[in-house]
Structure 1
Amino acid sequence: MFDLKFTGIKGFVVLVVLISMAVAGRVHANPRYASIVINADTGTVLHESNADASRYPASLTKMMTLYMLFEAMRLGKMTLDTRMPVSAHAASMPQTNIGLRAGEMLHVRDAIPALIVRSANDAAAVVAEALGKTETNFGRMMTDKAREMRMHSTTFRNASGLPNRTQKTTARDMAILSVRLMKDFPQYYHYFSTQSFHYKGTTYNSHNRMVRTTRGVDGLKTGFIRASGFNVATSAKRGERRLIAVVMGGKTASSRDQHTAKLLDRSFKQVTVTQIAASSINTGDKLIARGYLRADAPIPAAKPILTLAGKPDPAAILQGRLTPVSNVSVNTYLPKNNSWAVQIGSYFEPGRARAQAQAATRWVAGEVAVVEVEISNRTFYRARLVGLRKNQAHTACQNLSRNGIDCMVVRSHG
């Protein structure tokens, strides 16, 4: 048994690794299996197994169909009252469907729960043709959007997830999509917890039983085709923490749900330790490294312990294109003038904080700082762009967010 008082966080991490190995051993015999659990608030990967292996998305595809629909609504191209024509192609879609007929009209307000609750293939084709003229073209649009999101291992061919040997994704990419749905369209996220809806006199019940059976789960989507097995992308919130779990290749819906619930339970225990750094106050920060950067040489690989919200590590994405900090001054303090900063993340090692701050300078000019802070007798290192006025900090953070780097504006104290 581990003595956590003696081994501290390292011992806890070892324990989590051993548990993950045991879980992986049980599912290793299933060649379709893949899984990942991330902290939706920090981007930290809490568990992964075959997370970058190519898999069939099945009806998880409909999350991107919904993303495209929500984006069209945000741009004013669609509203909940928009009526979309049902073509012969859409009406021909196999189960599961809601029995649409060619020549009918489908309202957007009905299409959304049809996609989420019923996982209706005919409704997916209607949305595809409304936005992309043809489903084939809509598949290209979906793939382009995936590239914008840095879902580099995903290719879409249709809007439904029906079998297509070239329609592929990964568990990691589906986690990215899950987070983006929640972050980019919070006003529509409540749809993903819908358990039933009525259409033309028929009541349809959700395939996502985890919303009813697993503590904290409030969405997102399930999927199944024979080539993929049973998939799920799910979000759970307990207290102030929210996790995203993706499991692919389950042998049955029940075993998939049980396995996902266990991964969530273990990961919530793990995140209790790793989120200590994110909960501290913003006083007494010691600047340990500071300097202007240039983007012309490689940086060492650095996977963060903590980032601030929602996406994969930008430093890993940019690996090989940045250079270490120069002009380092140690044990100085943050300036009082222009005392606003953009914080990129908190880390257990200064080198990792430095690498993350370097990644941000690809899109915004600024002075990088690595800030040391003591929390609960442990030292953490914050990656920041410092010496900014308030409006500059907000503009910089907006620019970073548009380029896939999550951040927050903070007030630095001398």
Structure 2
Amino acid sequence: MLRSSMSDRLPRPRSLAVSFATITILVTMSVCAEARGRHYFHHRSASDDRNSAVRARANANSDPVIGEHRGFSAIVVDANSGRALYSRSEHELRHPASVTKVMTLFLLFEQLEKGRLRLDSPLMISQHAAAQAPSKLGLRPGQTISVDNAIKAVVTKSANDIACAIAENVAGDEHSFAQMMTRKAHALGMRNTNYENASGLPDPNQVTTAYDLALLGRAIQERFPRYYRYFSTPSFAYNGALHRNHNHLLGQVEGMDGIKTGYTRASGFNLLTSVRRRGHHIVAVVMGGKTAYTRDRIMAGLIEENIDGGSSVRTAAAVSEDPHAAKAQEQLAQEQLAQEQLAYERTQRAERAAERAQQIAAERLAYAEPQEEPAGQPEPFGRRLNAPVPAAAIPPQESAERPAVRPAFVSGGQKRPADDRDAERRGASPSAKARAGATPVAARDGSTTNGPRKIDVTPVSTTPSAIRGNGVKSQAAKADAARPGRPGWMIQIGATDDQEKANQLLVRARSQLQGFPATAKAFTEKVQRGTETLYRARFAGLEEDTAQSACKALKRSGFSCFTTKN
């Protein structure tokens, strides 16, 4: 009876065949889905969508996609009237991915418009830029690329290394450039946008919205009609390789003139476009597409459905920067810089006070005379501890001397601790000079003399060309003549009583800072403070924002720095 009931539960032969076929179909579909998943995202169920935030927090240490924002959002704006023709989740945060490069080029176009750069200007590739993740052009550190080719590489190849190089050549370093990007975005009205890099490579804090990107798409073509044409470049040939534009709708959708695609795992597939047709003009954004194909199909559909719904007459005001927002951002940056400078000056004053106290104590110790004790009266133990030590009793290597080079602080100049080697190079210490004739001073050749040796110091030319090694001016040239006459902003990184040290400080600053502004002119300035002669190490010929960005980068590299008007 038991065997009969078990056999009744077994499937019929026909059911087994159907089950086998079903399993085969499911396995085949799974393999195909896995193959497609190498290039596109897996489709997520509704429950996965609801719990994605919970999973992200739970797996924050293991999930490489941190802070992902790849939900679908879109907007279509009538550029003639400024009215939104279609929108969906347009104010929700998303990652811009390589659409970031539109703002990178916005700031580069500003440099071209102001004459700070030309299309044939070379951009230096740093080690940091060359190390960026693909997609990239693949230039090596030390190589250069013209601004014209850099724009084409960013538009077509979406080259991350070139975007980084643009940032470094404009602002000194990528972080400072990203801050400039964020300030510009807020001034344009992109309130929910924040940038952390110039390329769009993954960063959880690099966010924007579809609404903000549509605003940027309108602003860049209204502000720079001469340079906006680059966004319609179909392909770019460089070093024997042909790079095609990632925007597949160019040439496929009537009237499309740009502008940029973007993709990361955290963002999904993004696209910002502009279309002009029969007097109509729309700017559209699609973010968080599942695949490049579905993103393009959605975009093409939105264009066809809305292109004729907008106005054919321009009534909207041009997108302009909000002076109040720009001023607020600039004021905040100035306040932060002022606080940093105030803290630095307080530290310098405290160090100078402590140093002066040590010098006074050392001088008293060095010039003290032996004290005779009364006969037959032992000295109290406490008094022996406080008694001055005769100068002759101090070993030469331990005698307290005034530093050969007293660090000078002039309006934010950088302090440098002196060492015994500097004193030896100059021939004698100040304390030895004060005791000239009392104790023989050993010279470098082993001989002795009753007075300090006079060291002939060859003055170093303080012109920027001499600092860069392009030649040596006349020894009689004065340091004051080296100040560039062009008005603008300067940065000072130190002040010392040794002109050669000031020159070396300028060379070291330029060599250690990646992407140092090409417009910076190095020079030393001679100043007289009482009986002291000091040499300020400065860079001139900068705009205010560039000077502040370079100064911040120098501070992060260990230099002291402050900005001032020329």
> What's the TM-score bracket when you normalise by the shorter of the two chains?
0.5 to 0.7
Q: Please list, as runs of the form range in 1=range in 2, the aligned pairs for 1:7-406 lying within 5 A after superposition.
A: 32-271=71-310, 275=311, 278=313, 308-311=316-319
Contact 1:33 1:249 in 2 (8 A): yes
Rg (Cα) greater in structure = 2
**Aligned-partner Cα distance in 2 for 1:211–1:43:** 24
The structural deviation recorded for 1:311 is 4.4
Structure 2: 5+ residue stretches without partners: 1-43, 50-69, 326-566
- Normalising to structure 2: TM-score of the pair? 0.44
SS of residue in 2 equivalent to 1:212 = coil
The structural deviation recorded for 1:90 is 0.3
Q: Normalized per residue, which structure has more helix?
A: 2
1:137-196 per-residue CA deviation (whole Å, 9 max, x = no partner) reads 110010011111011100000000000000000000000110011000000111111010
SS of residue in 1 equivalent to 2:195 = coil
**Aligned-partner Cα distance in 2 for 1:268–1:140:** 35
Q: Percent identity?
A: 41
**Aligned-partner Cα distance in 2 for 1:199–1:150:** 36
**Aligned-partner Cα distance in 1 for 2:45–2:107:** 35
Q: Normalized per residue, which structure has more strand?
A: 1
SS of residue in 2 equivalent to 1:236 = strand
* Greater Cα shift, 238-247 or 260-269: 260-269
The structural deviation recorded for 1:132 is 1.1
1:329-352 per-residue CA deviation (whole Å, 9 max, x = no partner) reads xxxxxxxxxxxxxxxxxxxxxxxx
Contact 1:40 1:310 in 2 (8 A): no
SS of residue in 2 equivalent to 1:37 = strand
SS of residue in 1 equivalent to 2:293 = helix
Contact 1:221 1:232 in 2 (8 A): yes
In structure 2, do the counterparts of structure 1 residues 37 and 28 end up closer, same or farther at CA, with 3 Å as the change threshold? farther
What code does the residue aligned with 1:85 have?
M
Contact 1:232 1:247 in 2 (8 A): yes
**Aligned-partner Cα distance in 2 for 1:103–1:308:** 46
**Aligned-partner Cα distance in 1 for 2:224–2:45:** 36
The structural deviation recorded for 1:309 is 3.9
Contact 1:80 1:107 in 2 (8 A): yes
What code does the residue aligned with 1:91 have?
A
In structure 2, do the counterparts of structure 1 residues 81 and 56 end up closer, same or farther at CA, with 3 Å as the change threshold? same
Contact 1:41 1:310 in 2 (8 A): no
What code does the residue aligned with 1:130 have?
N
In structure 2, do the counterparts of structure 1 residues 310 and 44 end up closer, same or farther at CA, with 3 Å as the change threshold? farther
**Aligned-partner Cα distance in 2 for 1:260–1:28:** 23
SS of residue in 1 equivalent to 2:119 = coil
What code does the residue aligned with 1:134 have?
D
CA RMSD of aligned residues (A): 2.2
Instruction: Give the ranges of 4+ consecutive aligned residues of structure 1 lying more than 3 Å apart after TM superposition.
Output: 27-31, 309-312
In structure 2, do the counterparts of structure 1 residues 181 and 28 end up closer, same or farther at CA, with 3 Å as the change threshold? farther
Contact 2:188 2:319 in 1 (8 A): no
Count of residue pairs the alignment pairs up = 258
In structure 2, do the counterparts of structure 1 residues 265 and 310 end up closer, same or farther at CA, with 3 Å as the change threshold? farther
SS of residue in 2 equivalent to 1:242 = strand
What code does the residue aligned with 2:316 have?
L
Choose between structure 1 and 2 for higher RCO, CA contacts under 8 A separated by at least 6 residues: 1
1:296-354 per-residue CA deviation (whole Å, 9 max, x = no partner) reads xxxxxxxxxxx524549x9xx9xxxxxxxxxxxxxxxxxxxxxxxxxxxxxxxxxxxxx
Structure 1: 5+ residue stretches without partners: 1-26, 280-306, 318-414
